[in-house]
Amino acid sequence: MNKNEGQGLEGKIEHAECCAGTNAGTPGIFHVNKTGQGEHKPGNVQNREYGHEPGCHLHFMKEAYKEALKAYGKEEVPIGAVIVKDNRVIARAHNERESRKDATLHAEISAIKKACKKLGTWRLNDCDMYVTLEPCVMCAGALIQARIRTVFIGAADPKAGAVGSVINVTNVEKFNHRINVVYGVLEEECSLILKKFFKKLRLRQE
Ligand SMILES: [Zn+2]
């Protein structure tokens, strides 16, 4: 990682590391917050080993954020996602719903498609996703279908989030796969880019 890239964010890196490390095995959606205190949201997401080297959570979320920036540049709602396997990004994508006129082309869906193609399998069970916004119900469903291990989420989506905000489909007992969930990695930036985008849109419509 570029030396200046993480400036001012070191506290968050440390916190993400220590929380993901010490709390593996504890049930609940895990939330990494700014004060250095981890907290558990209601829910019973089964946590397992994260398998990441220190500092990787923030690094990979920044890669997802770069994808969100690409979407922003195309006047798409700025959401980006990457899929990581063995500490390497194997797929990256951003929202392309408008430019490709396709309701299903959310960042997460495109990233899953690319990862499946790359690995030659639909099973992504050793893979983690980093996504800048809480997945919607379609994408959370796709994460289950693809057997994604852990989803790291930048900002929550109170209006359409299906990983705890409106509904939580990653933690349904009868489904055959549950996903570990970690919130709060690069949260401010992921949220700010969306606010900026919608503000710009509103100004244009006035
Ligand atoms: Zn979605």
The candidate with the shortest Cα–Cα distance to 147, out of 121, 118, 182, 110, is: 121
Decide: 153 and 134 in contact? Cβ < 8 Å: yes
Q: What is the DSSP string of 169-188?
A: GGG-TTSS---EEEE-TTHH
Residue type, 93: A
The partner residues of 168 in beta bridges, in order of sequence, read: 163
The partner residues of 102 in beta bridges, in order of sequence, read: none
Identify the pLDDT of residue 36.
33
The more confident residue out of 15 and 85 is 85
Q: 16 CA to middle of ligand 1, Å? A: 24
pLDDT for residue 58 is more than 50: yes
158-174 residue pLDDT tens: 999 999 999 999 989 89
pLDDT for residue 32 is more than 70: no
The more confident residue out of 95 and 2 is 95
Sheet containing 29-32: which strands, arranged edge to edge?
38-41, 29-32, 180-183, 150-155, 127-133, 80-85, 88-94
Average pLDDT on 100-129 reads 97
Q: 107 CA to middle of ligand 1, Å? A: 7
Q: Which residue among 17, 96, 108, 134 is the active-site one?
A: 108
Q: 161 CA to middle of ligand 1, Å? A: 9
Q: 135 CA to middle of ligand 1, Å? A: 5
Q: 134 CA to middle of ligand 1, Å? A: 8
Q: 122 CA to middle of ligand 1, Å? A: 18
Decide: 163 and 135 in contact? Cβ < 8 Å: yes
Predicted TM-score (pTM) of the model is: 0.78
| 108 a catalytic residue | yes
Identify the pLDDT of residue 57.
87
Compute the mean pLDDT over every residue in the chain, rounded to the nearest whole number: 80
Q: 160 CA to middle of ligand 1, Å? A: 9
